[in-house]
Amino acid sequence: MPGERLTVRDTSEVGRFPGAAPPTRVELTIEKEEEKKQEKGGCCRWLRKICPCCCKPQNITSHDVTDRIEVVKPPAPIVAPEPVKPKPENGEAKEMEELKLSVVSVDLLSSKLGQNRREHHTDQFEESELIIRRGQTFQIEMELNRPFNADTHKLHLDLKTGSLPIVSKGTHVIIPLVDHLEDERWEAKIVEQNGKKIKLSVNSPPNAVIGLYGLTVTTGLLASETTSSYTSNKNIFMLFNPWCEEDITFLDDEEERKEYVLNDTGRLYYGTEKQIGSRTWNYGQFHEGILEACLFILEKSDMPPSGRGDAVNVVRVISAMINAQDDFGVLVGNWSGNYAGGVSPTAWSSSVKILRKYHASDGKPVEYGQCWVFSAVTTTVLRCLGIPARSVTNFQSAHDTDVSLTTDVYFDENMQPIDYLNSDSVWNFHVWNDCWMARPDLPPGHGGWQAIDSTPQETSQGTFRCGPASVNAIRSGQVYLKHDTPFIFAEVNSDKIYWQRNLDGTFSQIHSEKKAVGHFISTKAVGSDERADITHLYKYQEGSEEERIAVETASRFGSKPDVYSTPMAEDVSVEVKMDGEGPRMGSDAQLSILVKNLSSQPRRTTLHSQVAVMYYTGVLKGTIKTEQMPVELLPNEEKTIEWVLPYQQYQDQLVDQAALMLTLSGRVSETKQVLANQTTFRLRTPDLTITPLGDAVVGKEMAAKITFTNPLPRTLKGVMFRVEGLGLQKDHEVVVGDVGSHSTVTLTEHFIPTHPGPRKLVASLDCKQLSQVHGVANIVVLEQ
């Protein structure tokens, strides 16, 4: 529109785009303006130079407040005074003074381009401090006041972490100087000496406590107890080391290490098993301030520093601290649909802003998150600390509330659902994490991938957390192995059991679905943006003897151990099919109900159908359509029933994920067999199309065009875009306003790439009427 300007929302001014009558195409161009800063007259400038106290400059509001996260440095180098000793004879005192050794300066060789950072695979971190991984040597240099002589001088290093460092707890480490380095212990060796300068090679054990260390160098004479100390003004960050064979996080595949530790972007999967959607997420574990934020989370957890050498304990603490349910963790969960005062969970596309906001506010929980946000932030924290991790999506994910290890559905005498008993639910999808480590606390064979879940669902030992549970134990039904294996087993491999209330108030099992949950368990493939199906890691092939043994083994440790005592015969089946990628938002939803008679006799039934709007967690919002369908089947006949839900019936009823559940039930007249089926589906939303414009070169301005078409026959209110690209563009919001029915919006982003290599520009749309709209562009940035 001529004369109309769309602004990036960094202030209270917002752009407004009124919806046009269809089929109007609207193009908007984002113009960046430098903030105009006008200084007062020359007299004021002169006076400020002469007396800054009397004429202070005006405060300038920064638009990147959360970018300013400062690390508290140790105090400046201090040379400790020597204790008072009886004075020796004058000649002896003069000789000792001439031989006295002290440190002039220490260089931790922390450059991102230096040997330490490259060899420790920490050169992608934007911090300037020394960042190393345990179980591996690193080098430091120091300048002394005179050449070091091993025959007369002594020297050792002290590393301290935590508020109360203790040698016996491993939080105060005394590193001696040795002639030969040995593995799995703290030692230092002089590897180069040039006059007053020496270079030390320092070795750390593979079970060292991870965290932030301060370094002190202590020097003295062998013939004297007098020493002097020098404290470095820079910190040392110690991380887990999946490149070290002795570290329990060791991962023996370089491509997997690149994916699960070093990749700072990924893909998250959502939707339903028949309509799997995906979106790009910026993990940003190397972004400035994220390492400090991750260590801040451990500090907030009150986990003692001495426990931070055990990866099992660390991930269990992280699974609790990512949610704010009971410990003021990172994210507040919200499934209500009302996100006033915070950010809608579907609007996030990066962990960076979430973690930096939590850190900058000194631990105030960020609003709001749902399962994929909890999982993505967990991936960021674990990868940042050096633990291989990935986000995993389970479709048709059960939520077992009574430790029965089954998903139970209760009906009354008239086959109507008993809502107050149906506390178990099946989520369309649920996202948690896998992390890789050995499990010395479990029997052999249970190391490797471990499942953890930061979404607050059920408490574990009094806290909302889950895992780590061995994926191998889940697969075999060994639910007695820690931690929280029964809950995750039920999510992926519980049977769905249908119960009917008898006249005397008891319940009888009337039907079971053995393949109802745990479908298409998905994660991003190694080295590509493709979806990898990892269902086989969590469960044996459905219906196989191994899978049935695992289910029955697990059930014996649940609250209903006798549920599998009565086999049931069935000769009529019902299932729901979907054409292509399924219904689209804004159109009628069409599904096919296929009923099969597997017997040589005719069969008759009446199918009761009910469709309800559903949160992706499996909680129903309300029923929007019911009907009855009489069905008559000839021997061995298959019959297809076309089922339609008009747009007008669901348009004002949908919630976040545009999910619906179709429930079918009935009884075969001749055999009294109960038919039951529940199918979830979602209404597919359009993608944002992102087209790069111009050459992508570090330091050179380029642009990208973002296009969106409203698929609904109604106006979208309060549309807002969020745009971000690690190494391309900082996270920001663009307020569009209202977008008319079937109108098209085009935004042009201008930015200057700051990092070379493959990059991703991510955008998402947020408005009340439409969610899960996002897009990504792959951009390869060249060196200038």
Cβ atoms of 745 and 30 closer than 8 Å: no
- In 184-206, which positions are buried (b, 16+ CB within 10 angstroms) versus exposed (e)? eebbbbeeeeeeebbbbebbbbb
Query: At 196, which helix (H) or strand (E)?
Result: none
Contacts of 637 (CB under 8 A, 6+ apart): 596, 597
| Total Cβ atoms within 10 A of residue 467 | 26
Catalytic residue flag (residue 180): no
H helices within 196-266, ranges in order? Answer: 254-257
Long-range contacts of 180-185 (CB under 8 A, 24+ apart): 181/137, 183/246, 184/135, 184/246
Q: Which residue out of 158, 247, 424, 453 is catalytically annotated?
A: 453
The dihedrals phi and psi of 339, each to the nearest 5 degrees, come to: -115, 25
| Count of residues in the chain | 784
3-class DSSP state of 228: strand
- Nearest C-alpha neighbor of 197 from the set 138, 156, 139, 148: 148
- Token representation of residue 358: 């939590």
Q: What single-letter DSSP state applies at residue 432? A: E
- Nearest C-alpha neighbor of 212 from the set 262, 146, 162, 168: 162
Catalytic residue flag (residue 371): yes
Position 431: which residue type?
V
Query: Across-strand partners of 633?
Result: 603
- Token representation of residue 274: 């028949």
Cβ atoms of 240 and 308 closer than 8 Å: no
- Nearest C-alpha neighbor of 240 from the set 215, 214, 263, 261: 261
Residue 269, CA distances (Å) to 335, 427, 533, 699 in order = 18, 14, 11, 34
As a whole number of angstroms, the distance between CA 663 and CA 678 comes to 4
Q: Taking the mean position of all CA atoms in its chain, how far away is CA 393?
A: 12
Cβ atoms of 424 and 399 closer than 8 Å: yes
Q: Which residue out of 121, 244, 359, 371 is catalytically annotated?
A: 371
As a whole number of angstroms, the distance between CA 686 and CA 648 comes to 19
The angle formed by the CA atoms of residues 327, 480 and 325, to the nearest 5 degrees, is 15
Query: At 220, which helix (H) or strand (E)?
Result: strand 211-221
Per DSSP bridges, beta strands 495-501 and 406-411 are parallel
As a whole number of angstroms, the distance between CA 762 and CA 729 comes to 10
Instruction: List strand residue ranges (DSSP E) for 97-195, in order.
Output: 103-107, 130-133, 138-144, 153-160, 172-175, 187-194
As a whole number of angstroms, the distance between CA 205 and CA 203 comes to 7
H helices within 27-184, ranges in order? Answer: 42-50, 90-99, 115-119
Catalytic residue flag (residue 453): yes
Give me the DSSP letters along 34-70: PPP-----HHHHHHHHH-TTTSPPPP---S-GGG--P
Q: Which residue out of 120, 287, 399, 430 is catalytically annotated?
A: 430
Long-range contacts of 63-66 (CB under 8 A, 24+ apart): 63/10, 64/730, 65/360, 66/353, 66/356, 66/357, 66/360
- Nearest C-alpha neighbor of 743 from the set 699, 709, 775: 709
Which positions are annotated as active-site residues?
371, 430, 453
